[in-house]
Amino acid sequence: MAPRARDLGLPFPGRPGPLNAITDVAGVTVGFTTLTDPAKKMRTGVTAIRPRRDHGRPEPVNAGHFALNGNGEMTGTHWIDDAGWFIGPVLITDTHGVGAAHHGATRWMIDTYADHFAEHAWAMPVVAETYDGVLNDINAMHVAPDHAIAAIEAAAGGPVAEGSVGGGNGMIAYEFKAGTGTASRLVEIDGRTWTVGCLVQANHGIRPWFQVLGKHVGRLMPEGTFRDREQGSIIVVLATDAPLTPLSLRHMAKRAALGLGRGGTPGGNSSGDIFLAFSVAPFGPASQRPGALVERVAFDADRIDPFYLAAVEAVEEAVVNAIVAGEDTPTVKPPGRICPGIDRARLAALFADDAS
């Protein structure tokens, strides 16, 4: 497994969870289907995030979403904006794979929650995308519904693979090979510890913009650039075990933009920068229809700033983790070029004096 950013001595702020991954949030699991076949110019896949291991009937999770720039897709967000929750898995794939992934997620939900869907129920899974057409023949539409189902069924806790896995397989960030990245932060309030986890599919930025902890890394490593403008996107998924309201989660999703800004991107016009935040805290009795009044526990908004900071820090680190995991990869369009993996030794050397 490739080293992560902290393994190179990069002194990110904040206190990470044991795995420094979205799976530090209790119950959250991640699975991948990774599709690579050079003969077919195939380098793509599907990433699945299951918010909780519900059984028999889907249990909603409070959620909020925010789009910094809308040149992209995340299905189900109109309902999240109106209702403040969703059910089922979250999938991330390539731009032309959204329909297939949505079909697969819907099929999985119908089969998994058979009793629920025997009634007048509907499935509205969250499926997001970024464009991998530089490293993958995206018009061949390699992603199929079964690939989405396989990713969901592969979802597990523990360490999360990064870089060229799942939907991140064909992705590029700041003109370095990138893809899937993750990180987490612990938040202590009133003697209790809460967790904020993050997973990104990083496919954004151009080299001159790239910064790491305030250092202009992109300007110091200009080799191998091949773009003169932004042509990518990024999806950010934030999870927490804290009982945050949908409004607070929407506000936390907005803070993903600040984490990305620390990496140097201004959010280019051609970029789709779309963010989702959800809470795995017990949803409450609403799904059992107890009556007209429902009581829930939620954080006081005046005490929530530490969660916002945790989100910013986790997003910042997750993007760098995605880039650090990258390896040199041949391009499909145009053919015959190499999208470089970042030189980890040079990156580590930039921070060697800081650690002394």
Residues tagged active-site: 233, 271, 273
CA–CA separation, 23 and 80 (whole Å): 22
Q: Which residue type sits at 213?
A: L
Identify the three-state secondary structure at position 280. coil
Identify the three-state secondary structure at position 117. helix
Q: What is the CA radius of gyration of the chain?
A: 19
**What is the b/e burial string over 117-134, where b = at least 16 CB atoms within 10 angstroms of the residue's CB?**
beeeeebbbbbbbbbbbb
Secondary structure (DSSP) of 148-208: HHHHHHT-BSS----BSSGGGGG-EETTEE-EEEEEEEEEEETTEEEEEEEEEEEE---GG
CA–CA separation, 301 and 348 (whole Å): 39
Q: Return the C-alpha torsion angle 25, 257, 190, 283, nearest 10.
A: -50
- Asked if the bond preceding 246 is cis, omega within 30° of 0, the reply is no
How do beta strands 126-130 and 90-94 pair? Answer: parallel
End-to-end CA distance of the chain: 27
